[in-house]
Structure 1
């Protein structure tokens, strides 16, 4: 669709394999309360409400993958990256819901 951000969609199994291989930095763009309640192990929280592509953590040569609850907010964050001329276009398709549907582990609570 014209004007929509170009995204590279990864499946939950692709993200899990890349996390295990330490090839990606997973950025969860949900709000802090959502992140505290349940998250993907290893994800870092950078909420969409204050999202600044220039302030993302250093990925140390890894690919940054964005993630949210269902895929909409991470796609919006990809759009913000593209507007800021940041080469970040990869996200977890289906977000945390797809991750959980695939039977992959999450961390719950503030632990």
Structure 2
């Protein structure tokens, strides 16, 4: 029964498609038929408002998983750049090695204010999956990413 339900849902999602404009999480621009599905009601997702509050209180370790050239062009204040391609290796370092390499303390495995982000949410969702496999069970990601941040900050 579960397999039939999953196949049916996949079929329905395929029929619905992305519509016009950018898909949530789409990295390369306009929708090209790929569909990104954000887990609904997930505690692992941080909203723009939540992130603003965390930054204002200084109660967040924010990691930007975009490439260094993207990070240099603009970043959310206090974010530390660890590209997605380096993420798994970075979080298997010792805490001292991590601090030496990235200039910030390594989050603890149970730290609730450990947040990942990218440009639009796709890479940070991948990063979240990697981090959770490494045991960081309370890590979260800012699904709106830097793209939403810039847009909302301009208002």
**TM-score for the superposition, normalised by structure 1:** 0.78
RMSD over aligned Cα atoms: 2.5
Is this contact kept in 1: 2:116–2:124, CA < 8 A?
yes
Say whether 1:24 aligns with 2:60.
yes
Name the structure where helix makes up a greater proportion of residues.
2
**Structure 1 SS opposite 2:45:** strand
Any idea what SS the aligned residue of 1:103 has? helix
| C-alpha distance 13-48 of structure 1, shift in aligned 2 (>3 A) | same
Cα shift at 1:32: 0.6
Following the alignment from structure 2 to structure 1, what is the Cα–Cα distance between the partners of residues 114 and 134? 15
Q: Which has the higher strand share?
A: 1
Q: Which residue of 2 aligns with 1:54?
A: 92
Q: State the 1:69 CA deviation.
A: 0.2
The separation in 2 between residues aligned to 1:91 and 1:81, in whole angstroms, is 11
In the superposition, relative to structure 1, how do residues 22 and 62 fare at CA in structure 2: closer, same or farther (>3 Å)? Answer: farther
Q: What are the superposed Cα offsets for residues 6-52 of structure 1, whole Å, 9 maximum, x if unpaired?
A: 66111112101101101111000001110011101110001001112
Q: How many pairs were matched up? A: 102
1:18 to 1:76, Cα distance in 2 relative to 1, 3 A: same
Q: Which runs of 5+ in 1 are unaligned?
A: 105-111
Aligned to 1:33: 69
Q: 1:70 to 1:90 in 2, by over 3 A?
A: same
Matches of 2:78 and 2:127, distance apart in 1: 19
SS in 2 for 1:54: coil
Instruction: Classify 1:7/1:54 alpha carbon distance in 2 versus 1 (closer, same or farther; 3 Å).
Output: farther
CA spacing shift, 1:84–1:59, aligned 2, 3 Å: closer
CA contact (8 A) 2:61 2:107 kept: yes
